Structure 1
Amino acid sequence: MNTTTLRTKDQADHSLVSMIGGKIATTSNVIAATFGKLHKVVLRAIKSLECSAEFTGRNFVPSEYFDSTGRKLPSYIVTKDGFSMLAMGFTGKEATKWKEAYINAFNLMDSELRRIGEASKQSDKHTRVPLKDAINMLVARSKHLNYSDAYKMVHQRFGIETVEEFSDDQVPLAVEYVHKLIAQWELVEPELLAAPVKNELSEGLRNNIGAMANHMLWLHSWWMAHGPAIEAMNGQTARAVRDHFVDGASVARNVAYTIGEAPPEEFMKNYPWKGDDSERRHYRSRMGVASQSQRGEVPA
């Protein structure tokens, strides 16, 4: 059991409270030693408390400890609320002194943990500044990519849901990835952003470019549906092709919007890849694209 202990000036020989299982707590045997009671008396007092099952389960967790002879004996892990409930039955001047010491110890550790947590948040926030700057640059360079989509791309690439999940070691990798997206977009930007792009391209060329971008986005939609299963079967193979789907979709999206061929991304996102043929036909018909499917513009 991993614990972090905190001692008070008045009780140098006993750790009044500890971090046990991620919570600030003490134990029944420490309480017994502190208040000068037999441990079995404290155990009996806990068992005789007429608390609800929910309160008892949350604040008095069965545990074990070894005594001086090496015997394994039962005990309880007791939270601050549990201690407050239990200590109501401890009376006398000496007991009051120790109740006060426990309450101070609980509050002191809680305050210290909050301070450490806040310092950690500030450190994490500072660490992620380069990533935020890179995202800002990506959105600025890409005329049709918003912040939400940009962060989603990063989240998908690293298999996370929020940037808070990044470790310090991952942030530089994420920054490098975003700069790679920027570089990929800038490769197509000089030719496609020459104003007015839509008017300078022939209709046939614009249609072909739009179709190619749409096909890439369809592949990305398929990958979002089946990629996790492939990664579970063969992570190395999945990682080798994942960036092509994700990065390719980013470039394809920008190209499509630049030439005025907005792709049906909501339709793609909700496409029933895992359904049967009848589900897919029904979905295409409901979205009013059945005719496109017959011409081969929408995958079967």
Structure 2
Amino acid sequence: MQTLTFQNITLSPAKVDNQIWLTSGELAKALNYADTQSVTKIYERNADEFTTSMTTIAQVKTNGGMQKMRIFSLRGCHLIAMFARTKVAKEFRQWVLDILDKEVGKPVQVEPKLSSDDTLPLRNAVSMATGILKLDYATIYKMVHQRFGIDEIKELSKDEVGQAVEYVHSLMVQVNQSTINMPLIQNILADNAHQNQKARLTVDGMIGELKVMIDYVDELRTRLTLQDRLIGALQTRFIG
């Protein structure tokens, strides 16, 4: 089967039942993981999310002959990329969707922008989570951003909004079971604290500069007042 190219990376897919599949090694390469086992680890942590149409064990032809290995369909690749934390994960998801559209003979659809009604379930879930998780809105939203590899909620698709709601609900379940990912939360809180500190230092610097300017203006005003008095005195003396 012909190769595929993602961001100058050449991938050699297998074709099973007339569908495109990628091995975990090829998928790791596309997602820019140094460790080829990273994809396998992601799958093992989230195996219950995958169906048999998304991943399977198959005989794949390699340089060393036929070998059994795990492969992922395009939909399986997309789900792996949902859990991935690399910088290219978001672009890879779009690339996979583009190929899926071409595979079924449909044009690439541009996702409509989310409306306020579309994001309401997520906003409600986050609001509920603030009380249960004892975290502020910004921290919970940042956890959602990291989970889906986005910078803003509006970058989610409608389907992903539903997945984001499930993710927030799972966080609330985890805290009740004492299994929440505390290192992740600690990292987010530390990052928020660092950003706040940077902003505070910037504001303090601006205040310092403003004080210097005010002192200069006061000094200039004093000099002008003295000059006005001197001019007035000279006018009285020499002009009358």
Q: Which one has a bigger Cα radius of gyration? A: 1
**TM-score after normalising by structure 1:** 0.29
TM-score, with structure 2 as normaliser: 0.35
